[in-house]
Structure 1
Amino acid sequence: MTVWDDLVGQRAVIDVLSRAAGGDGMTHAWLFTGPPGSGRSNAAVAFAAALQCERAGCGECHSCHTAMTGSHADITIVRTEQLSIGVKEVRAIVKRSALSPNGRRWQVIVVEDSDRLTDHAANALLKAIEEPNQRTVWLLCAPTVEDVLPTIRSRCRLVTLSTPVAADVAAFLERTAGVPPALAAHAARASQGHIGRAKALARDEDTRNRRAEVVRIPAGLTTLGACMTAASNLVEVTKQEAGSITSDLDAREKQDLNTAYGVAERGRRPREYAPALAAMEKDQKTRAKRRVLDVVDRSLMDLASVYRDAIALSAGARGDLINEEIRGDITQLVRRSSAEQHLVRIEAIFTAREQMLEFNVPPAIALESMMVALRLAGGPSR
């Protein structure tokens, strides 16, 4: 067992990072890029562990164990549940990066979602990367190099992860979680190479059922009324799923705040409690909004996979479809519309995605418009 074991289908990346951890090609700043679910954050954390390990990532020593569990004193992981990472948070991390490590090796700062840095935060980070501490290493993660300031990425060594193939993902699920082969194969295909999503699909029947409802939407978009109903149902299901994820965390945070200010013990609220509660509720509201967008985004990718399957089937591609379990529905889509029309539908899905993520359009409005576009793209039935 090594720190690299959870990096699925990334042999070239593992080779580069392993050699760097041993001193070959080491530098003070790295940028990990790759599509969602490719494991860029996992790769950064594994590399951080290898940098603290005397054997470049053995996976068995105390340094490796604490690094992989998030408790190593010289590894700081910056992640956010908010829509962005602000300058105040980055300045605190920059101040920490200037300190010497507690141990004999490196002070490692891992910044997940570097693409969420505000402009001021990115500029504060740039200065730290331009004038690095001799024993500090920055590991930044983002979907693409274009998501990071050019001045930052030009100072980083690039590590590009690819989407793992379904066979590798299925083998990983069987090996690490004991998932039966048939279920592992289904989860691997349905996740489209997203490791976290594959785990959720393999472990949770409710997650599989929710996805099954989403991928059956295209076959039912036969009238404008059906489009409105599909959009409304998708919004409702999304809110329920996002709420189930955040409600327990919100409750724990409220309880921790009450305990910290002695509300339960004293039976009254001190003066400082009200602004602290307001700040916490504001953060929770922002986090809930991001969670809704994340869940919607995943559903949109599932929808797009149906039309990708239709294009593949119409082109005579061999092998299993992403949504093999609804091959009958996809065959009907192929009979009703051309490959060009399915491409138009995929474009409509990505337009809705951009409206919500980039232009803050309410999901209900964006999804209604998208569902209608999916229906109209087919033209008259044939």
Structure 2
Amino acid sequence: MDGVGVFDDLVGQERAARTLRRAADGAAELLAGGAGTGMTHAWLFTGPPGSGREEAARAFAAALFCPDRGCGHCDMCHQVMIGSHPDLETVRPQGLSYGIKDTRQLILRAAGAPTLGRWRVVLFEDADRATEGASNALLKAIEEPPPRTVWLLCAPSPDDMMITIRSRCRVVTLVTPTAAAVAHVLATRENVPPDMAAFAARAAQGHLDRARRLAMDAEARGRREAVLSIPASLTGVGECVTAAERLVKTAEDEAAAVTSELNESEITELRKVYGEGSTGKGLSRGLIRGGAGALKELEDRQKSRATRTKRDVIDAALLDLVAFYRDVLSVQFGAAVELANEDRRADLETVARSSTPEDTLRRIDAIMLCRRRLAANVNPQMAVEAMTLSLRKP
């Protein structure tokens, strides 16, 4: 099995792949009545954005279900990769948090016996969004799991999870892939021209999905250009306010584009469930009235998802700005490092000449403060305006 299969898709994660391969071997040994060396019932996948936490967890799930421990070609592996395996429960919190009600329902589903007789796996993406109550409920489930249930939790850092949860999980730490590794994947798997692959990998700073979007979507490249033009545009207070408005408006538009089609399909499906379009005297009206509460709950979830998406878009833009000023700092110190924004070398050198390294560090701090404010639910327009004003100051 070594050298082939689902783990080969984990770009730049050779160490994590070795750990997961050994665990998959242990899981097969456990099913056969052995000791199950290296296998445990709870895992925590951590790593920076773009490192592939969810991809690693999904590959491990495939290896647990696959008779060949993750061949990548069988029906079991295919079902996991497209999300249709009956024993795989994938949780993707779409709002700002994941509450105790949803967690309790999840725990009940996870307690069922495997349909196909091997494992029942819960893949919990963004598990750090679980509320305190939800985390406590999750802790109890992890402490006393059914014998064939495996929990795969994903979070940016172990510190983002309750200490009692992470102490009961085996932690798999993923790293940011190198630009060269990402460029190789784009060129060999996506047939992206080498120059474009190199640019996208460098600009995405090791984030494979973002690199893929930059390489294959002209609109994504245009949004990046708009963000990176902000530093040069901050010539006055009015320009700072305008730049903030534009960034927030772009995030709102992108969030609406991402969520609107999904919202409509969810509402249509819910109305069908509650009888819209049904025939029979009094049937449709009664069922629709009975579904009013469910419709309101769905609309609240959709609103929360839109807010989350908007903040995620703004956060991605802020990380682009951090990368820009980090490159400015590298130019100021004459560091012999690869620049994420080499394609904007002239802008970097202009800002580097007109400011000091202390100014650059202060600007990076201002961007990171904006990220913390957004995470604390500060109004996005106010938070971004405060940031742009700080970026303008000499």
Match of 1:162 in 2: 175
- Secondary structure at the aligned position of 2:175 is classed as coil
Residue 15 of structure 1: which of 13, 18, 40 is its match? 18
Matches within 5 A, 1:73-84: 73-84=86-97
State the Cα distance separating 1:268 from its structure 2 match: 5.7
- Secondary structure at the aligned position of 1:77 is classed as strand
Match of 2:149 in 1: 136
Residue correspondences, number: 376
Match of 1:41 in 2: 54
Match of 2:341 in 1: 323
Q: Deviations over 1:312-345 (max 9, x none)?
A: 1112123542111111011001001111211110
Letter in 2 for 1:55: D
Match of 1:232 in 2: 245
- Secondary structure at the aligned position of 1:4 is classed as helix
Q: Deviations over 1:262-300 (max 9, x none)?
A: 324559643113222211111111111001000000000
Q: Is the 8 A contact 1:3 1:68 kept in 2?
A: no
Match of 2:351 in 1: 333
Is 1:364 the counterpart of 2:381? The answer is yes
Structure 1 portions without partners, runs of 5+: none
Q: Is the 8 A contact 1:183 1:202 kept in 2?
A: yes
Q: TM-score, normalised by structure 2?
A: 0.92
Matches within 5 A, 1:1-382: 2-23=5-26, 24-264=37-277, 269=285, 270-358=288-376, 360-376=377-393, 378=394
Letter in 2 for 1:76: E
- Secondary structure at the aligned position of 1:56 is classed as coil
- Secondary structure at the aligned position of 1:137 is classed as strand
Letter in 2 for 1:9: G
Q: Is the 8 A contact 1:228 1:368 kept in 2?
A: yes
Q: Is the 8 A contact 2:89 2:110 kept in 1?
A: no
CA distance in 1, matches of 2:88, 2:295: 30
- Secondary structure at the aligned position of 2:122 is classed as strand
- Secondary structure at the aligned position of 1:76 is classed as strand
CA distance in 1, matches of 2:128, 2:294: 28
State the Cα distance separating 1:138 from its structure 2 match: 0.9
What fraction of aligned residue pairs are identical, expressed as a percent?
51
CA distance in 1, matches of 2:270, 2:127: 29
CA distance in 1, matches of 2:372, 2:163: 22
CA distance in 2, matches of 1:325, 1:53: 44
Letter in 2 for 1:311: L
CA distance in 1, matches of 2:277, 2:256: 26
State the Cα distance separating 1:115 from its structure 2 match: 0.3
CA distance in 2, matches of 1:254, 1:135: 36
State the Cα distance separating 1:307 from its structure 2 match: 0.2
Q: TM-score, normalised by structure 1?
A: 0.95
State the Cα distance separating 1:249 from its structure 2 match: 1.0
Alignment RMSD, CA only?
1.4
State the Cα distance separating 1:261 from its structure 2 match: 2.7
Bigger CA drift: 49-58 or 98-107? Answer: 98-107
CA distance in 2, matches of 1:143, 1:331: 33
Structure 2 portions without partners, runs of 5+: 27-36
- Secondary structure at the aligned position of 2:150 is classed as strand
State the Cα distance separating 1:202 from its structure 2 match: 1.4
CA distance in 2, matches of 1:100, 1:261: 30
